[in-house]
Structure 1
């Protein structure tokens, strides 16, 4: 039989526990339908809590301490095979669509892709002369522009899916490998206006989105307890550090509003995915593997944390993972543990290709099942973190020490053990991540040995310097600023 195609869709910052197929309260019929077509993994986990860390692990099939990407502003290693490159050398036509610039060409994440679509480079900023030239010359961009002017939404999600479908129909030769990152559930939690209105009926805004731009307003809310200026500071990333420094900076009504807007973003993600799923069911399902996942989740106030990149709690580390297509069991729910580092081996297995001897994962459809998953991230320089990060600048000395620490963790079905670069160790009971106050020494010794064997002793680094030190282009810097990173 001809080799199957393979598509990986990464919904950046999507929490598994918000999808209805995972028991979540947001009705997501299209993710549910994909689960019926294939296999759903109930306990899948990222190898790290941030975009570059997680993507590098998925691309290489290696843990962060193995590939060296333990933080941001770090190059994807050139001496390690990556998935797109591996498939390209075995006859696959390869195509990529980036999300945040942190997993774009500036840090080597274009390696192995014959071509790549990066909105911040290919379209330019909105508005700009370059962008409007694209609006005039490209019907997909024109359609996205009109929809945005009417309904709002800033994530380019609909455009990316349209670009991907057109590329598959017209340009990619079989077999092909495509990877696409979309951002509908990433801060600033700003799906098109009908979705926000559905989740928050007392929120009002101008009838058309372009009026918000002209009037320099983003709406109002009929609730005296909600301070919209604080909501906006969370959305632009500046307020994250203020919340981390003092969780009382947001009151319960404000936290609930942001949670509702995240839910609205999840609903939008499902609807847009539904359009792609129809295309997949109509034209690709017989000869194309489809993998849907996320690079990490999101803390939404739980444990007094907002956003991701901090700690190794399940809200950030657990991700959805659904796989469909040739040779994939249909209508199956798997309760065993899975890691994103297993994706490389799984794609090779399903495509009947050999796997490089550099990966640390294994095919999710092999006879072996995981008993543990591992996760980690590097330590930050406290001074850099305080001076150059939206998150670090509001923290006091002890908080800086805590949030700058690197961490390594191992999780089983019953426990999670986390050790840090500041010599803290914590053991949690699963589910619920209840802290065990007086754990047995033998159990701690076992988990320490597990971590040392798989992840080593070193915590790696997480550069947090001034973006100007990294010679970022204007387009990349704006992209990272829009997403609240700088």
Structure 2
């Protein structure tokens, strides 16, 4: 029989927190820098930081689909031409719920909502994408004036916020309010059950408009906050050549990006402090990661579409609590974010044998009897936005963008990355010597390219591929469509 704590909770089953720092790349953020990410750095010191962690996709929808199901995009099918997570595969939230956990999801990302199939398995799903001053939020409140979707939100307070002027000094994409919701939920919840908590904070996503106090910590000398905010940041406008960015402007955008990460790290710190305050910190396994990375001028891109470079695939990953605090555990092994599903189940002692048969992720929990990865795989199934959306929006589309309307698959080892595109192009990079992936050596290292291509084909043959006869997308509300456009997806 399992031992029980004084409040009736089963001690042998830890709480589990998955905190997704949206759009945070490993480049210039790994290892965690205490000046930018003190909370993540502290968790890394206590636990384990995995320096070779890779996403299965370069943008939110497919990468979260992989995180939630432990499978690659070709299997879970949520991607650029099919924008809903299927019910065919169990989600990690469902598996924790089946094991008796209280399951709670909190998302500030418009993709990670009920609309696109990501609330499945959560007893409580709190989605508040964007600032509470957004007009769609006001509409929500008018329809639900009691504010019954969670603690801490009075109609009067939110209404006054919606109508107030959004000052440059109070930039926030929803994280602060949502994290306050998490803090109050932790204080008031019934503690007889352990919990599984998923949080997504979208702050580092374009456009980078951090609170002024954070930006001023990182802006180069001679740059004011107002001047930095005036730099154009629209990713699709950049793609089609409506504006160019100088080397200095790109450097400023990277500083704003760091400020967004610092702001988000403080939100993570609030969650950690809340766990301390409720006495549950030592009973909690925390996974802090990202769904994908970002290009800020690298490879000629702004944002995270059209490629599978490490700038968009290599992400931070820290696990703290439980066995991950053991000094004998190292973060040297290659892992993928879809490996978190079986790893966290192992951390909680949940067997879920049927689900594990579907997993393509492999557990890297210290107790797991699994071989370390030698390869990571990634997919970009279809461009987002599709070319027809760009043609509707812009008068002229450069040929370069038409050339990027393709699917891409990649396999990466510790030393090389092979990339194959649906238009027949292939690339090979010696990432150990060329981490910026600046020199394609596929023409000279033909044997290495052939070996990795065979590995890619073998991986694709290892599971049933989804046949797509036509584009399948979710019909969304106008406010959702506007937010997706604002984020560069439409």
Q: Determine which of 31, 51, 54 is the counterpart of 2:60.
A: 51
- Partner of residue 341, structure 2: 344
Q: Over residues 15-38 of structure 1, what are the superposed CA-to-partner deviations in whole Å (9 max), with x where a residue is unaligned?
A: 22333634x695322111010121
Q: Over residues 236-291 of structure 1, what are the superposed CA-to-partner deviations in whole Å (9 max), with x where a residue is unaligned?
A: x3xx2343345982122221221121121122122232222222344322211111
Is 1:374 paired with 2:362? no
Give the deviation of 1:44 after TM superposition.
0.2
Is 1:137 paired with 2:154? yes
TM-score, length basis structure 1? 0.84
Is 1:449 paired with 2:454? yes
Is 1:254 paired with 2:273? no
* Cα pair distance change 1:420/1:10, threshold 3 Å: same
- Partner of residue 362, structure 2: 362
Does the 8 Å contact 2:58/2:380 carry over to 1?
yes
Alpha-carbon distance between aligned partners in 2 of 1:18 and 1:459, rounded to the nearest angstrom: 36
Alpha-carbon distance between aligned partners in 2 of 1:21 and 1:140, rounded to the nearest angstrom: 40
Alpha-carbon distance between aligned partners in 1 of 2:375 and 2:131, rounded to the nearest angstrom: 41
Give the deviation of 1:71 after TM superposition.
2.0
Does the 8 Å contact 2:108/2:174 carry over to 1?
no
Q: Which stretches in structure 2 are left out of the alignment for 5+ residues?
A: 1-10
**What are the residue-to-residue correspondences of 1:110-121 with 2, within 5 Å?**
110-120=119-129
- Partner of residue 440, structure 2: 435
Alpha-carbon distance between aligned partners in 2 of 1:30 and 1:335, rounded to the nearest angstrom: 21
Q: Which moved more, 1:323-332 or 1:3-12?
A: 323-332
- Partner of residue 422, structure 1: 423
Alpha-carbon distance between aligned partners in 1 of 2:417 and 2:456, rounded to the nearest angstrom: 11
- Partner of residue 125, structure 1: 134
* Cα pair distance change 1:394/1:242, threshold 3 Å: farther
Does the 8 Å contact 2:407/2:422 carry over to 1?
yes
- Partner of residue 171, structure 2: 153
- Partner of residue 484, structure 1: 488
Q: Determine which of 282, 305, 308 is the counterpart of 1:309.
A: 305
Supply the RMSD in Å over aligned alpha carbons. Answer: 3.3
Give the deviation of 1:177 after TM superposition.
0.8
Partner secondary structure for residue 160 of structure 1: helix
Alpha-carbon distance between aligned partners in 1 of 2:130 and 2:245, rounded to the nearest angstrom: 36
Q: Which stretches in structure 1 are left out of the alignment for 5+ residues?
A: 206-218, 222-226
Does the 8 Å contact 1:379/1:460 carry over to 2?
no
Partner secondary structure for residue 358 of structure 2: coil
Q: Determine which of 468, 472, 478 is the counterpart of 2:476.
A: 472
Partner secondary structure for residue 128 of structure 1: helix
Give the deviation of 1:333 after TM superposition.
4.2
Alpha-carbon distance between aligned partners in 1 of 2:168 and 2:441, rounded to the nearest angstrom: 52
Is 1:277 paired with 2:272? yes
Which one has the bigger helix percentage? 1
Alpha-carbon distance between aligned partners in 2 of 1:401 and 1:36, rounded to the nearest angstrom: 46
Q: Which moved more, 1:295-304 or 1:70-79?
A: 70-79
Is 1:243 paired with 2:238? yes
Q: How many residues align?
A: 454
Does the 8 Å contact 2:175/2:203 carry over to 1?
yes
